[in-house]
Amino acid sequence: MSTPMHLVDLPPEVLSLIVNDMDRDTLLALCLTGKRILHEIARRYLRQNVMVLFDACRKPKPNLFSFDDGRLSAIRSLSLVVHGYIELDSKLCSLVFMKMVNLNDVRVVGGPGVLVRWIVESTGASLTTVELEGCDAEPQDFVGMAPVCIRRLVISRCHSNIRFILGPLTVEELEMYGPGSSFRA
């Protein structure tokens, strides 16, 4: 038996995805039939769009490392928010990211350059958009990185060393924002 779900319970992003993904007849049927179908549709989108919070004191929530292969491959959009310093196992992270074979959009807030590298290298085949905000990096984070092509890269308020990602990365659309200056190519 499914838990009742009301439209007001859904995040606005999920509602937008549902409305934009449906044709008029399907949307009308959805509005008439009720909660069970809405719950099934919302569950699919919530599985595809995952936000993970990393905190120096706690485990990531939700814990990506506990997802099964099916759940990891269903993720289309990933937002990682890092608070403070974190230490991650490179092999474990790479294995998890490599299973995200359908990942299109990634947003990293406050992450280290090495985390950005693992994500881009591991998911490069399906990746179209990378957004980096407030990320820190060292030049050596991107040394020896495999070449990857993506459609769009947005860099906002990141440490100047994040520019070293542009060596191995081919980008169609680049947006850079920072204090006192902005650049768009």
pLDDT, tens only, 1-56: 455 555 556 666 666 666 666 655 665 565 555 556 665 665 555 555 565 655 55
Question: Quick check: is 71 in a domain?
Answer: yes
Q: Read off the pLDDT of each residue in 138-161 and give the average, rounded to a whole number.
A: 90
Question: Quick check: is 17 in a domain?
Answer: no
Question: Quick check: is 103 in a domain?
Answer: yes
Between CA 16 and CA 154 the distance in angstroms is 22
Residue 60 has φ and ψ, to the nearest 5°, of -60, 145
Question: Quick check: is 1 in a domain?
Answer: no
Residue 45 has φ and ψ, to the nearest 5°, of -70, -40
For the whole model, what pTM was predicted?
A: 0.67
Residues 6+ apart with CB under 8 A from 3: 39
Question: Quick check: is 16 in a domain?
Answer: no
Of 168, 160, 173, 159, which Cα lies nearest the Cα of 110?
159
Give residue 129's pLDDT. 92
CA 156 to chain centre: 16
Q: How many domains does the chain have?
A: 1
Burial code (b: 16+ CB inside 10 Å, e: under 16) for 118-153 equals: bbbbbbbeebeebbbbebbbeeebbeebeebebeeb
For residue 149, the enclosing domain spans: 48-184
Question: Quick check: is 163 in a domain?
Answer: yes
Residues 6+ apart with CB under 8 A from 184: 174, 175, 176
Tokens of 167: 């060596």
Question: Quick check: is 114 in a domain?
Answer: yes
Q: Is 115 exposed, middle or buried (0-12, 13-18, 19+ CB in 10 A)?
A: buried
**Least confident interval from 5-14, 64-73, 103-112, 172-181:** 5-14
Give residue 172's pLDDT. 92
